[in-house]
Structure 1
Amino acid sequence: MTYKACLFDLDGVLVDTAIYHFQAWKNLGTKFGYALTEEQNELLKGVSRVESLNRILTWANYSATEDQKSTWLIEKNENYLDLISNMNPSEILPGVLDFLNQIKQAGYKIALGSASKNAEIILSKTGLIEWFDLIIDGNKVTKSKPDPEVFLKGASGLGILPTECIVFEDAQAGVEAAKAGNMRAIGIGDVEMLRQADKVIPNFVGIQASELLQF
């Protein structure tokens, strides 16, 4: 198989904003007396803001009105934006820039496939935006991972078949989305958590694209 494009999730793959999401959700939890755990926060990776709130409310066994949900979603995002306002290139995860340079030099198209509605802000603040041919984020999709919509739109936007795409994901839902879209999935992180991926690497440090992308 000849691959032509690499599609990346954002949080936990290129930069680590999970800590900021965790803090913002924890802060919101004080509204209804709930303390989100780190383990639960892992289950929110790759999930939309609305679905994340619904999951937290379910865990808290709290019935919120639609007005409360709307207000809290705005508050959470404003808190999150405040937390990420000082992000800079130092927060790019180790090995990422070298890997992006390798695949760019090799002629791969590069796209983002993220549930985050703040993806462009983060990419701009960290200086990563210049690497991307296409950005598909939470503002351009209606379905959360594991639905493959975000990645299928990425492939379509690049003018490339799904089978010609390789997806890089750190979340189980993201890996499932890639496989549902008939794409190759490379997991970033723990092998046990990402067992459905075609291959798993701990991070991009020392990774040679020529070896990783040959199947």
Structure 2
Amino acid sequence: MQFEKIRGFAFDLDGVIADTARFHGQAWHQVADQVGTPWTAQLADRLKGVSRMDSLEMILKAGGHENDYSQQEKVQLATAKNDNYLRLVETLTPADILPGMKNFLDELREKDYLMVLASASKNAPKVLQYLQLSDYFVGIVDPVTLSHSKPDPEIYLRAAELLKLPPAEVAGVEDAQAGIKAINGAGELSIGIGTGLKGADICFASTADVSLDKLLELK
């Protein structure tokens, strides 16, 4: 795919715009300790970009506890995790925007690219508010309306609908393998951030390396 066709961007949030992933990690770590699942770096990595209830199921399964809790108890665990996460989110400020991303968003807005948020987080609107970035986005995909989590492409197809663009004119920006698969599955241009990602059309080592000029060089 060629960047010259792109008219809109769909952004993941955690690890792309801000490092709220560390807050998710802290809150999920507490849940893992509570249910008796050993917390590992591998488990933490697998939860990136995954919805709240699916993340809980992965934690329970990792410790062999998937049949130990009723659905009501699972909801309570997930709710407690979210409450802990929100307390951490309230400490965010614009200083927490990842290096280079505010400049990138400014460049895109200046050149009239449309932007939406495609995050599995139900708290994305609050995060954008604390980061003072809400005005940059024409919409936010509501994960409650989705039937499937990443790596299913549904969230990025919905992002294209919010942008009112065909998928071929949308670029998705992700830092997780599940997200890259979702973007590719939607038929959009995939921009990966980080090392070790497979299948991304374009990849940057870090957010600090991302710029519109570098993307335009790919015409």
Distance (whole Å) between structure 2 residues aligned to residue 61 and residue 163 of structure 1 = 42
Per the alignment, residue 93 of structure 2 pairs with 88
Distance (whole Å) between structure 1 residues aligned to residue 35 and residue 138 of structure 2 = 42
Moved more, 4-13 or 127-136: 127-136
Per the alignment, residue 42 of structure 2 pairs with 39
CA contact (8 A) 2:94 2:132 kept: yes
Distance (whole Å) between structure 2 residues aligned to residue 207 and residue 178 of structure 1 = 18
**How far is 1:34 from its partner?**
2.2
Q: Name which of 89, 99, 103 aligns with 1:98.
A: 103
1:205 partner SS: helix
- Unaligned stretches of 5+ residues in structure 1: none
Q: Name which of 129, 132, 141 aligns with 1:127.
A: 132
TM-score (norm 2): 0.93
Distance (whole Å) between structure 2 residues aligned to residue 47 and residue 206 of structure 1 = 25
Moved over 6 A (4+): none
Q: Name which of 196, 205, 208 aligns with 2:208.
A: 205
1:90 partner SS: helix
2:208 partner SS: coil
Q: Name which of 55, 62, 79 aligns with 1:74.
A: 79
Paired-residue identity, %: 37
CA contact (8 A) 1:99 1:207 kept: yes
Per the alignment, residue 174 of structure 2 pairs with 169
For 2:165, the aligned partner's letter is I
Per the alignment, residue 30 of structure 2 pairs with 27
Distance (whole Å) between structure 1 residues aligned to residue 173 and residue 121 of structure 2 = 15
Moved more, 77-86 or 134-143: 134-143
Distance (whole Å) between structure 1 residues aligned to residue 213 and residue 35 of structure 2 = 50
CA contact (8 A) 2:116 2:162 kept: no
**CA separation of 1:181 and 1:127: change in aligned 2, threshold 3 A:** same
**CA separation of 1:204 and 1:30: change in aligned 2, threshold 3 A:** closer
Distance (whole Å) between structure 2 residues aligned to residue 111 and residue 141 of structure 1 = 16
Distance (whole Å) between structure 2 residues aligned to residue 169 and residue 5 of structure 1 = 15
Q: State the aligned residue count.
A: 213
2:207 partner SS: coil
TM-score (norm 1): 0.94
Per the alignment, residue 61 of structure 2 pairs with 58
CA contact (8 A) 1:22 1:38 kept: no
CA contact (8 A) 2:33 2:39 kept: no
Moved more, 64-73 or 173-182: 64-73
CA contact (8 A) 1:112 1:137 kept: no
Moved more, 8-17 or 102-111: 102-111
CA contact (8 A) 1:155 1:161 kept: yes
